[in-house]
Amino acid sequence: MILKILLVIGVIGVVYFFFIKKKPIQNTTNTKANNNEKPQSNDMLKCSACGTYAEVGEMIISNNKYYCCQECVDKA
């Protein structure tokens, strides 16, 4: 009798682990991990001249560097 109960519990456990239990989904597309990607418009970057943080959409790009205003571009 006990052997039958243990056998049923074992079969239920095997069915659960092979068919019902979901594996965790791994996030393979991490945007912050790859530094070669271009920054998005809402990312904050540091000004190359004064160190102030500003959004990418508001910054000025000169010589592949980001500046917060025209004064910092002239200063550099």
User: What pLDDT was estimated at residue 8?
Assistant: 94
Mean pLDDT of 1-17: 90
pLDDT category at 15 given cuts 50, 70, 90 is confident
pTM of the predicted protein model? 0.47
Strand partners, 44: 55
* Residue with the larger pLDDT of the pair 38 and 52: 52
Domain boundaries, the chain: 40-76
Q: What tokens appear for 32 in the block? A: 């912050």
For 5, half-sphere exposure in the C-beta direction (CA atoms, 13 angstrom radius) is: 2
Contact between residue 43 and residue 55 where contact means Cβ atoms under 8 Å apart: yes
Average pLDDT over the chain, rounded to an integer: 81
